[in-house]
Structure formats: C-alpha cells, structure tokens
C-alpha cells in the first residue's frame, strides 16, 4: 500500500494482493460488507455509477483497475487498450476518496502462468461474444474468480452493457457455490445514446456521433419486437447496416435472457434481449437492450 500523490491526491492504492488481503482482513468486522467493482480502467461515468451504487449499499468498496491479458483474443486490441491509471485515480478520488483501489501488475495476479483456466458455463459461453472471441470467457472467468478470491466481496457490480458477461459471472458464482451477490446495473449512455465504453475514446468525434445509430437501431428493434418475428428483425438489421460504409455489423441476435440462446418462437413467460456488435472504423462496440 502507498499514498498516491497526484496534484495533492492522497488515496490508498494496493498494487499487491497480499497487502490488500491484509488490509481488508484488518478493517472487516462481522457486520461489515464489501462491494466490489472490477474494471479495466479508462474510467467513465458508467464506472462511477457502479461505484455510486456500491458505496451506497456497502461498508467498504473496492475498485480494481487491471487490463486482463487472458480475455483478449486479439493481441492488437490488448496493445491498444487505453491505460490511464493517473486519470482513473484522480476520478475515483474526486468521486469518493474512501474507495479502496486495487491496481495490480500482471505478475502479481498470474505470477509465472499467464493463462486461462477452462470453464463450463452451461453453454452461455458459446453464444455471441463467445463465437467471435474464442477463449474470451475463459479469460473473464479466470480473472473474476481470482479477484473474488482476493477481495472476498459481499456484492459485486457489473454493467449490463456486457449482459453476456454478467450472466457468465452469475453462472460462475452459482457453480462454485460462492456467497457473492452479483448485481447488474443499468447501461450509462452518452447524450446521443451511445453506450459508454472505454473504447469510445478511440473514436473520432465524427464516428462517435455516427455510432449513436447503434442505440437508435436497438430502440427500433424493441418497437418491432411485438409485431415482427426474430427472422424479420434480423434481416432488417443486417440490411440497414450494409448502407453505412464506416460500420461493419459483426453480429445481431435476439436471445433468451437466461440461456442466451437465439429466439426461435416467442414464449410469453420468457424475457428477451437484443444484442449487437459493430465495428465503427475498426473499433469494436457492443450494446444490448431489453425487449419485454
């Protein structure tokens, strides 16, 4: 642990898991709760909204800042992922200086073995992101499980923008019998509707504005959902994205929220969600919306 000084910022940051574990052990009581917000840094208002919920519901809040190498199937994407620790610490400090920050090194987390464990998420990992990013959810499961073991949170907070990841984490908690409550928090959007993401920082101002089309499309999908079949909506989405040269639609899928399986025939007792991944000038963006 050390005091991080940046323009008179004094915030306790732990770079080593042993020191964090010792600190949490010292401050915890039988009645205290720990909220946990895992992040890969490049923090935005969406991350701060997760912290807000955690600090309002728990005795202590831990925020991790760690770009996890094992969940990147594209080495170039890992290389280009923004790393802004100084700015992240400043934002957290300005928001709530009592938050405990864990910013470990790759070596501290993985030691000599930077690799993923293998997980069975009952098929959740085979849909959408899993199809297009091989090994991604093994990497997610590996790092989240490691962080849960270090932080031992009462409750963990994840944004619903990556709803598939949220369901994956819930499944991991269930299958490992972990006594951790996993909370999904609403997507935080920019003024034009674009879902907030660290990758948005790599967009030009023009492409950032154009990317609002993704959310507008999802809103139209929700309107069509009651009167059109999934096949009709899929065809419509694929067609409209062919008309925008700077966009490349990777996938669009309407799926059962629980199983993430593609919708075939609507069942009144089930809830459905639309998922989309789009490359905007070669920068990959995802979004989702509840349909009923």
Could you give the residue numbers annotated as active site?
47
Segment (H or E) for 12: strand 11-14
Three-state DSSP at 34 gives strand
Q: Which of 85, 79, 94, 87 is nearest to 66 (CA)?
A: 85
Question: How many residues belong to the chain?
Answer: 292
What are the tokens at 174? Answer: 């269930």
- Residue showing tokens 């594209």: 74
Radius of gyration of the chain (CA): 20
Closest to 83 in 3D by CA, of 67, 107, 101 = 67
Strand partners for 155: 35, 181
Closest CA to 83 of 192, 182, 201: 201
CB 238 within 8 A of CB 252: yes
Contacts of residue 123, Cβ cutoff 8 Å, sequence gap at least 6: 259, 260, 261
The CA-CA-CA angle for residues 215, 220, 223, to 5°, reads 135
Longest distance between any two alpha carbons in the chain, whole Å: 59
């Amino acid at each position: 642990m050390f005091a991080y000084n940046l323009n008179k910022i004094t915030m306790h940051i732990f770079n080593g898991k042993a020191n964090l574990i010792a600190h949490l052990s010292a401050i915890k009581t039988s009645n205290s709760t720990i909220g946990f917000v895992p992040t890969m840094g490049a923090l935005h208002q969406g991350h701060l909204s997760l912290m807000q919920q955690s600090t309002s519901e728990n005795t202590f809040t831990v925020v991790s800042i760690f770009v996890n190498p094992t969940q990147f199937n594209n080495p170039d994407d890992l290389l280009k992922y923004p790393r802004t620790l100084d700015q992240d610490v400043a934002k957290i400090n300005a928001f709530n200086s009592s938050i405990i920050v864990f910013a470990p090194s790759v070596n501290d987390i993985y030691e000599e073995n930077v690799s993923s464990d293998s997980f069975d998420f009952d098929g959740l990992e085979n849909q959408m992101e899993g199809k297009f990013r091989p090994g991604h959810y093994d990497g997610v499961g590996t790092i989240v499980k490691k962080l849960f073991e270090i932080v031992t949170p009462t409750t963990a907070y994840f944004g619903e923008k990556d709803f598939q990841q949220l369901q994956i984490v819930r499944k991991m908690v269930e299958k490992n019998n972990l006594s951790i409550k996993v909370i999904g928090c609403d997507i935080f959007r920019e003024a034009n509707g674009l879902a907030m993401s660290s990758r948005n920082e790599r967009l030009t101002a023009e492409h950032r504005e154009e990317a609002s089309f993704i959310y507008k499309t999802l809103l139209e999908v929700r309107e069509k959902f009651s009167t059109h079949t999934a096949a009709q909506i899929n065809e419509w989405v694929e067609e409209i994205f062919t008309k925008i040269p700077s966009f490349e639609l990777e996938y669009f899928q309407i799926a059962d929220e629980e199983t993430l399986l593609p919708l075939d025939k609507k069942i009144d007792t089930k809830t459905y969600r639309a998922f989309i991944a789009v490359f905007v000038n070669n920068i990959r963006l995802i979004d989702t919306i509840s349909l009923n």
